[in-house]
A and B are shown apart, each in its own frame.
Chain A
């Protein structure tokens, strides 16, 4: 059977790319778009309209085997250390350029598939993806080991070698951006990849597959295989031919992946999981900007961000003033069709997510928290949820402890910094945090005390290509972005050359 194809006419959308597109949505294995072995497909839905966008091909265990085989062959012949770092770097930069050349189409696909505003998709997601790939393109010929002085009888050195075939599983909240975060360091260091984007939002990854081929990557270096988490994802985590798996997604699935890695071949694991990041509003903050950043922390990407600032702690003596401004900003968030140029917040990505978030909201109300703002579906079509604020919360409430992954913030008070640190760190998560204060010394002291992989001071969600990102505690292990990501995709070989040392016995 021929693999599935996706065709769409963006001509009637309000803004952005208003042309037609058509590309294969088969599995991209060994440089070809192919049908899955058992011809399985999956229906993708437009979350803005709740209508079907058609079917894509999804991978089963057998397809993952084929992808691994192709990746291994490429690693042993045309990739790995068989190409120079300069070559690998050139290809990554070429891919970045091709993504930029097709930025409008990719942004439109991302919006259609995920529901995020097309203007944001273009400026943040797609441009960000190109920037990340370009950044790692620059690293490719700069992977250094060390020569290490021991004694005159020995020549000792390390090599930082690629691991081999790596599995990468990414979520639906930032499809193309997460693709770049994953492929960039993996390919720069010489690994080949079996890449499983979320089956809910596969379109940009499959469109990028075409660009990967156009850029000139040899077949098998990158294989793109959308599939169900408990089928394709499980096949990757359990595969005996994959030596490393990188996952971004929920903590629950992260556990499953780590278990599978342990029980199969002890493959290396890096995880970027959930969060319930605290935003700390101190009494010496700039109230106007703090309120805006705090709101941004809650509603950015419709709350579908692992590092969303969903627990807001406001110092007692400025609570009312802050809440007035914060509520005003939240009220002013523009929901609507992601293709409208003035839309900030689109729908949640799927019915499953919509139901889950609404269920948390109901639970919050039942637990006795006050739903100060929002708490309802927005409109009647698609999976839109109003920006929502809960107050009068207690630390043991579900809506305070658990990650909701929607535009829902819970607000609480504190009186002094010592109490604040305890409240902020009281979480199994530790992904991010933010401190708002005009007193830099005070802010830095707090920043140093917070148990989080990222601390923002007077900002939120600011990510930079060259600054690492990752979690403390159950928010994950390993770091992405920056130089640090390279460590996820290399293994150290120490070589001791005995020049003149006599045998031990």
Chain B
């Protein structure tokens, strides 16, 4: 049974909102050809929120054909950059207008706090689109001197890649959608976005705004699907020029393989992390940055379902006891809102699915089995929904699973260290390298440490701050390519060098 009729959702705060349920192709919502569907579950009530169409390979073919046609006729070089920028700004305006219902929908589908979704997820997504709107008409090539007789010229054209598949995860649906489509559309590519089957609803609702903003059909197609169905079809499709993926490292590998085996489509990946967060004794723990608070935000925001969560805490011996005491004391704030993401002041939420929650539980159990100490939390929450308590684990060793592997839940492992040399080695001892943060009031130490940490983003005296104009991405197995900033445009463009000999064109 397939569907494309909108469904009416009722929210705990009384809001009612219709959400489309079809695949969004050519500016229309259509059922899956083979009638495949996805059930989107509310992770708080554990009930079905909505049933939406799920794309299979045949639907992907149609979506790709639509994107290709749009790229050839109404997008790419068929529209000046300034117009692409206007459309992106218009979409940002509409998201601003609809911040509250969109934030609520993100909260309903994902389980995160509605207040946080409205105050953080939406504004960051909007800022990202506006930032890339500004770049649309500022994509420059070079002219290059190559000749001393004035007969030849060399220049570069920066051209859009073409049809881009973008596969986003379920942790920040709206924000990840903006990070992806912003640079891609600004650069002139057309997009087939596959949101996660766990959280398809905010993406489908945003598709309505894409129409309202005035984007031509086929420029943005949105096809919720299962990873191994729609995702696989996209990554192995011969007429897709590029795939951009955010998600787990395991899936990232598969995508890279599929790209290589099919048409060597360009690949950018934003994968997992096990980011270290270091507290040096030189840190100004009392007055300056509130390092404790940043530790909590770094790991418990979004229930730890964040690729760059600061999940390995290293505290220098001299300040260890005082710091840990404060850390434990304020951890309980993170259960505010448990049971009701729409409660005022809600901070914490459930894991997005039962599978995710049970994974987290299994990791914590493994820590127990390996001899670590659960100093806070360490168990499921006793109410309805896929909750897990904010958890802090001490007495860990570098070889434990909870130290090496990405848990993607509200779990922080804590280690005491003696020297700067030691902690840098510990911090870098990971196959990941997405982010890293440290707190120090010694400027020379700061310079030394930031230079030596093997991570795509280093936060000094803070954690987790992102800006659309600052690039973000991973070292090592945390990914390849950078999102945000000017760098994201490189993911969606290709360079054509033009060498022109016009010496044949003399007069008379």
Contacts and interface: CB of A to CB of B under 8 A. Distances in A.
B280 to A, nearest CB: 16
Contacts of A86: 127, 130-131
A422 interface: no
B503 interface: yes
A36 B92 CA distance: 42
Interface string A74-114: 00000000000110011001000000000000000000000
Interface in A119-170: 131, 134-135, 137-142, 144, 155
Contact of A441 (B82, B136, B140, B503): B503
B140 A483 contact: yes
B505 interface: yes
Interface residues of A, number: 34
A139 B469 CA distance: 11
B440 to A, nearest CB: 14
Contacts of A497: 443, 447
Contacts of A138: 85, 133-138
A102 B138 CA distance: 27
Contacts of A449: 150
B10 interface: no
A465 B137 CA distance: 9
B153 interface: yes
Interface in A420-463: 439-445, 448-449
A416 interface: yes
Contacts of B444: 499-500
B118 to A, nearest CB: 19
B506 interface: yes
B448 interface: yes
B150 A445 contact: yes
B151 interface: yes
B502 A441 contact: yes
Contact of B82 (A141, A416, A442, A465): A465
Interface string A170-183: 00000000000000
A230 interface: no
Interface in B115-154: 127, 130-131, 133-138, 140, 150-151, 153
For A416, A442, A465, which residue has the most chain B Cβ atoms within 10 angstroms?
Answer: A442
B448 A499 contact: yes
Nearest to A144: B486
A440 B153 CA distance: 13
B447 A155 contact: yes
A93 B151 CA distance: 42
Interface size class of B (residues with CB under 8 A): 20 to 34
Q: Is the interface of A mostly helix, strand, loop or mixed?
A: helix
A142 B469 contact: yes
A93 B140 contact: no
A367 interface: no
A142 B135 contact: yes
B507 A442 contact: yes
B508 interface: yes
With most chain B CB atoms within 10 A of its CB, the pick from A138, A155, A500 is A138
A376 B390 CA distance: 88
A491 interface: no
Contact of A137 (B127, B134, B507, B508): B134
A440 B82 contact: no
A444 B502 contact: yes
Nearest to A443: B505
A188 B443 CA distance: 32
Contact of B486 (A142, A448, A499): A142
A141 B127 CA distance: 11
B490 to A, nearest CB: 15
Nearest to A154: B447
B447 A499 contact: yes
B504 interface: yes
A466 interface: yes
A320 interface: no
Contacts of A140: 134
Residue among B130, B448, B505 facing the most chain A CB atoms (10 A cut-off): B505
Contact of B505 (A439, A483, A500): A439
A417 interface: yes
Contact of B469 (A137, A141, A442, A465): A141
Interface string A487-505: 0000000000101100000
25 contacts: A85-B469, A86-B127, A86-B130, A86-B131, A131-B82, A135-B137, A138-B85, A138-B134, A138-B138, A140-B134, A144-B486, A155-B447, A416-B508, A440-B502, A440-B505, A441-B503, A441-B506, A442-B506, A444-B500, A444-B505, A445-B505, A448-B150, A466-B82, A466-B137, A500-B444
Given A135-B82, A141-B134, A442-B502, 19 more contacts: A86-B130, A86-B131, A89-B134, A135-B137, A138-B134, A138-B138, A140-B134, A142-B135, A439-B505, A441-B504, A442-B505, A443-B505, A444-B153, A445-B150, A445-B502, A466-B138, A483-B140, A497-B447, A500-B444
Interface of A: 85-86, 89-90, 93, 131, 134-135, 137-142, 144, 155, 282, 416-417, 439-445, 448-449, 465-466, 483, 497, 499-500
